[in-house]
Amino acid sequence: MRKTTLFSCIIKTTLSLVMVGNFCHIYAKEGMWLPPTLKSREADMKKQGLDIPIEQLYNDAGTGLNNAVVLFGRGCTGEIISSKGLVLTNHHCGYGTVQGLSSKEHDYFANGFWAMNNSEELPCGGLTVTFIRRMENVTDRILNGIDDTLSEAARDKVISVRIKNLEKGYKVASGMDAQIKPYYNGNQYWVILSETYRDIRLVGFPPNGIGTFGGDTDNWMWPRHTGDFSMFRVYAGKDNKPADYSKDNKPYQTSQYFTINAGGYKEGDFTMVYGFPGTTMEYISSYQLNQIYSIIDPIRIEARTKRLNAWTNHMTASRDVFLKYTSKRAGVANGWKKWQGEVRGLRLNNVVAKKEAYEKTFQGLAVNDNTLPYADDLLSSMAVKSMAVNDVLSADEYIKEAVYGIEIIPHAAVLDKMLNAMRSANSDTKLRDTLQKIAKQASGFYKNYDAATDMDVFTSLMPLYIQKCNGYIPGAFTKQLQEHGNSYADWCAYVFGSVLTDENKLNALVNSLTMADAEKIQNDPAWQLYHAIVEFRREKITPTVAKYNDDLAYLNRLYMNAQYKLDKTKTFFPDANLTLRLTYGQVQGIDPDGPAGYSFQTNIDEAIAKNNPDVEEFRVPEKLKELNAKKDYGRWQTNNTVPIAFIASNHTSGGNSGSPVLNAKGELIGTNFDRIWEGTMSDLYFDTNLCRNISLDVRYTLFVIEKFGGAGWLLKEMNIVGLENKKR
Ligand code: ARG
Ligand code: GLU
């Protein structure tokens, strides 16, 4: 890897540091902007390098590039890269879907998948892709006449009716889906008009040796060598509109797709990320931040470390268990590692203290202001409220991460449903019918379940919960444990005598149940735990937590409003809420530990050098090694190698996975897939000096498709520029 010292001078020249009292704001890059509000950012974006009119990114006529950005599934982003509905997203965004299409015979994780023509593209039942066509500010219509200080409950009552009615009106008028969402903690409302396509097919998926290369070890880390992409295609009915799957559907036709620029970029170049960031909390108080930092995150990390250890042991020992758990594991491990980075970043950068300093300044402004009488008391109210719930929050987190981390316990919800059906049944034949339906719905669980693995999770997580939850333990738990001589192993063996460990046992039970058999379920040990914990939470925990959340929603809404109105030194952007945003920054390396730091870019030679056949995460596929040995890079060669990934100072979050990364002209130069560890705290506190998003270089994507996957036919439908001086 080349080292760089360039970044430090770039930071100095591109950032404008503004100091006002205790406020220290870096204006350059923080922010995730709503597309229709970009006009107000235009001057700044142009200054930083934007080379196209804002209207090309979004316009009310409906011809903007927003039409080429999609919400992929329920929590990722994708981009349209051809007139035939070809979607590029991350490998990890397609992972769950591909697991559903994989089997021992078709192991797409080991071998990859490449359709060689349209007819080979694989339907992905349940997967959807949503286009955002238009957004309008409807704040006045939602909040008209409502006093800011009205309680959350009273306010919600009025607002929810207005939202429903207005959504209905927009739906009828536009013929599209309409959803109204709150921004700025409920101080603003926007309607989002969208179309959701539901016939989506798998087109290309590199094997894990490329797509998850580096695995959990490298996850959230820089430097990075993961070819984290996959490709899908949107299919539409005859009218080019959303339709259920049919073999007669046609690829979705569009004139709004991204031009790909394979000509590269340099450090300092302007970049944008267009996508769906999920959740940020940039404006919370130091009290709430402290809860996340010192209670919530540490519990999650502690419990997940144990769960992941148990899973990994079994996954390493059996390919069957690996296939069952790989997607689940990726999800659980992803949060686990992110929160570690978050805690570390918050600690090393004294973020709680920085918030406290900000609060002092805010308090000064509040006291001197007489337009917002409520502002003076906000912070002290937040302090009192948060202090009062720390114990309960902590217990609840242990329940969610430890008790519900034992899969058989939440799965016992299925027995609960059956019990309810028995209570309301009026004939045994009808009951049988209902029970079979319930059992069928639950059968998906068993495709990805291994009871022996779950038993190890039980003996590891139960002691953690019992010992650390401040005595918030349901009687049934204590009773079962005592009846087994306080031995967790014996208790575990007893619980896993449940019918739930095995689909056949569950079905056998279903076929034997009559209306009079409630006891058979009530005697099931896993059901007993499930039932006990649900009831316990309902009585002892949820009311307190719900009240706290309500109080906090109220205070945070007013606090947001007061910061917005009183702090004139800051430009406020709304926290992420899984709606379409654009963020901009620069290609920029980072040096977290010393003067000689990381380059802004990685390449294939570094990936090959990391090859380790003994470690699954670092096993480079043979064919990639061969291509590298022969330097068979085709048009994607740059400086005698192929770039893999690069970092930039765009403010992104979870949900931005798969987002298009654009150059100053709005052309695609990469696909966002991660952030660096030092900067994962950016969901709570963005620091331009530390926070970087990680993107896959589009040249590596194209190289893998063409040279590794042999799927060069796909390149013909793309519009690729920047190759003027390259031979094929
Ligand atoms: N950290 C990235 C994100 O937040 C990638 C996750 C997938 N990779 C993994 N090894 N689990 O989604
Ligand atoms: N990998 C993340 C995702 O799935 C995006 C990276 C991030 O959180 O910044 O959304």
Query: What is the pTM for the complete model shown?
Result: 0.90
Compute, in angstroms, the gap from residue 228 CA to the centroid of ligand 1: 9
The answer to whether the CB of 657 is under 6 A from ligand 2 is: yes
pLDDT for 728 equals 60
Point out the ligand 2 atom lying closest to the alpha carbon of residue 675. Answer: 9
Q: CB count, 10 Å around CB of 516?
A: 9
**Ligand 1 atom 3, closest CA:** 674
pLDDT for 678 equals 86
Tell me the per-residue pLDDT of 316-326, one tens digit each, with 9 for 90 and over. Answer: 999 999 999 98
Question: Residue 116: what residue type?
Answer: M
Point out the ligand 1 atom lying closest to the alpha carbon of residue 216. Answer: 10
Compute, in angstroms, the gap from residue 682 CA to the centroid of ligand 1: 16
User: How is residue 410 written in tokens?
Assistant: 């939440």
The contacts of residue 530 (CB under 8 Å, 6+ apart) are: 409, 410, 412, 413, 415, 416
Evaluate if residue 480 carries a pLDDT over 90: yes
Nearest ligand for residue 96 CA: 1
Helices (H), 371-517: 378-398, 408-411, 413-424, 428-441, 444-447, 451-468, 475-483, 488-495, 503-512
| Residue 592 pLDDT level (bands cut at 50, 70, 90) | low
Nearest ligand for residue 655 CA: 2
Residue 723 sits at φ, ψ, to 5 deg, of: -110, 15
- Residue 666 is given by DSSP the state S
* pLDDT > 90 fraction of the chain, expressed in percent and rounded: 91
Compute, in angstroms, the gap from residue 435 CA to the centroid of ligand 1: 38
CA proximity to 626, closest of 653, 609, 638, 608: 608
CA proximity to 434, closest of 443, 425, 445, 442: 425
Residue to mutate (ligand 1; options 213, 334, 647; most atoms within 8 A of CB)? 334
Tell me the per-residue pLDDT of 264-284, one tens digit each, with 9 for 90 and over. Answer: 999 999 999 999 999 999 999
Q: CB count, 10 Å around CB of 572?
A: 15
Question: Coil, strand, or helix at residue 583?
Answer: strand
| Residue 593 pLDDT level (bands cut at 50, 70, 90) | low
Pocket of ligand 1 (CB under 6 A): 92, 212, 215-216, 219-220, 330, 333-334, 654, 657, 673-674
Buried b (16+ CB within 10 A) or exposed e, 625-636: eebbeeeebbbb
CA proximity to 312, closest of 192, 218, 427, 216: 216
Tell me the per-residue pLDDT of 10-39, one tens digit each, with 9 for 90 and over. Answer: 333 233 333 333 333 333 468 999 999 999
**Ligand 1 atom 7, closest CA:** 92
What CA–CA distance (Å, rounded) separates 692 from 2? Answer: 18
The answer to whether the CB of 654 is under 6 A from ligand 2 is: yes
Residue to mutate (ligand 1; options 673, 677, 681, 694; most atoms within 8 A of CB)? 673
The answer to whether the CB of 359 is under 6 A from ligand 2 is: no
> Which of 172-181, 419-428, 438-447 is modeled with the greatest confidence?
172-181
Point out the ligand 1 atom lying closest to the alpha carbon of residue 91. Answer: 7
Q: CB count, 10 Å around CB of 346?
A: 23
3-state class percentages of the chain: helix first, strand second, coil last, to nearest 5: 50, 15, 35
What CA–CA distance (Å, rounded) separates 706 from 206? Answer: 11
Q: Which fold has domain 29-128+198-280+574-728?
A: Thrombin, subunit H (2.40.10)
Per domain, the residue ranges of the chain are 29-128+198-280+574-728, 284-571
What size, in residues, is the chain? Answer: 728
User: How is residue 515 written in tokens?
Assistant: 């209306």
Provide the annotated active-site residues: 92, 228, 657
Q: Are 22 and 356 in contact (CB under 8 A)?
A: no
Tell me the per-residue pLDDT of 195-251, one tens digit each, with 9 for 90 and over. Answer: 999 999 999 999 999 999 999 899 999 999 999 999 999 999 999 999 999 999 999
What CA–CA distance (Å, rounded) separates 694 from 686? Answer: 15
Compute, in angstroms, the gap from residue 468 CA to the centroid of ligand 1: 29
Nearest ligand for residue 221 CA: 1
Residue to mutate (ligand 2; options 673, 676, 696; most atoms within 8 A of CB)? 673
Residue position matching structure tokens 């704040």: 139
| Residue 6 pLDDT level (bands cut at 50, 70, 90) | very low
Tell me the per-residue pLDDT of 357-371, one tens digit each, with 9 for 90 and over. Answer: 999 999 999 999 999
Residue to mutate (ligand 1; options 90, 92, 336; most atoms within 8 A of CB)? 92
Point out the ligand 2 atom lying closest to the alpha carbon of residue 652. Answer: 9
CA 422 to chain centroid, in Å, comes to 39
Point out the ligand 1 atom lying closest to the alpha carbon of residue 330. Answer: 11
Compute, in angstroms, the gap from residue 338 CA to the centroid of ligand 2: 10
Bridge-based pairing of strands 720-721 and 260-261 is parallel
